[in-house]
Amino acid sequence: MKPASGQTPRIAVVTGAGSGIGRAVARQLLDAGWHVALAGRRPEALAETAAGHTAALCVAADITKAGDVARLFGTAADAWGRLDVLFNNAGIFGPPAGIDEISLADWNEVVAVNLTGAMLCAAEAFRRMKSQQPQGGRIINNGSISAHSPRPRSVAYAATKHAVTGLTKSIDLDGRAYGISCGQIDIGNAATGMMHDVGAGVGALQADGHKLVEPTFDVEEAARAVVLMATLPAAATINQLTITASGMPYQGRG
């Protein structure tokens, strides 16, 4: 729903906005009349997301670097003066590996993006939401169904996504006094480039060792769920929302 004539547009920052779920969410927010700062490492991909939208602001940034994160939120504040929503979305799977196989470098890379990067962005958003007038805002963390039930050989991804759940709950608790809420969306098998092999004939490794082509669903439906969370009035919060492809192995995986 677009803002009424004369109403101040709402402001969002979306990380990982160059592709997949981040791109779909950013475009749906822009179509609904929001002003959106698009963050990601690839300027060309951000420009593709922003195409046709005058209220999009592209900011090339690496969320694992505190200076880049500060610049991202500072650029949005300079442009629009406040922040209503952060969709904390950027993340990576990392290479498939068990706990006895993963290298320290690969482990650290996944932790840096999925957990430390999410923390840095949430911290910067929290500071700005706390200091702005009127106070308040909403942080939405992109978790995963791996925050509940991991896939085989995904130790770094699963560990970081479980940690994001703790981050979400801590932010929501600490934000109560300032009108800052934090919720988490856990998405299973949205049809993005990251999930291509799962539903394209290659299949995903299952707990018993075989591969299974799993159902997927349109990424736009996942984006609609995020936009629902973003557009709730301040008096309401979705603390946790799980959306999956119908029939995919999740309940009692394997």
pLDDT digits (tens, 9 = 90+) for 149-176: 998 999 999 999 999 999 999 999 999 9
Residue 248: which H helix or E strand, with range?
A: none
* Cα(93)–Cα(74) distance, integer angstroms: 29
How many percent of the chain have pLDDT more than 70?
93
The full set of domains in the chain, from first to last, is 11-244 (3.40.50.720)
Average pLDDT value for residue range 181-205? 83
Residue 160: which H helix or E strand, with range?
A: helix 155-175
**Could you tell me which of 33, 26, 31 has the C-alpha nearest to residue 47?**
26
Catalytic residues: 157
Question: How does pLDDT run across 26-66, given as a tens digit for each residue?
Answer: 999 999 999 999 999 999 999 999 999 999 999 999 999 99
Average pLDDT value for residue range 177-194? 93
**Neighbouring-strand partners of residue 13:** 37, 86
* Cα(27)–Cα(72) distance, integer angstroms: 18
Pair of tokens at residue 207: 């707990």
Question: How does pLDDT run across 101-155, given as a tens digit for each residue?
Answer: 999 999 999 999 999 999 999 999 999 999 999 999 999 999 999 999 998 999 9
Kindly indicate the confidence band of residue 8, based on its pLDDT and cuts at 50, 70 and 90: confident
Q: Supply the DSSP symbol for 44.
A: H
Look up the pTM and report it. Answer: 0.93
* Cα(197)–Cα(224) distance, integer angstroms: 24
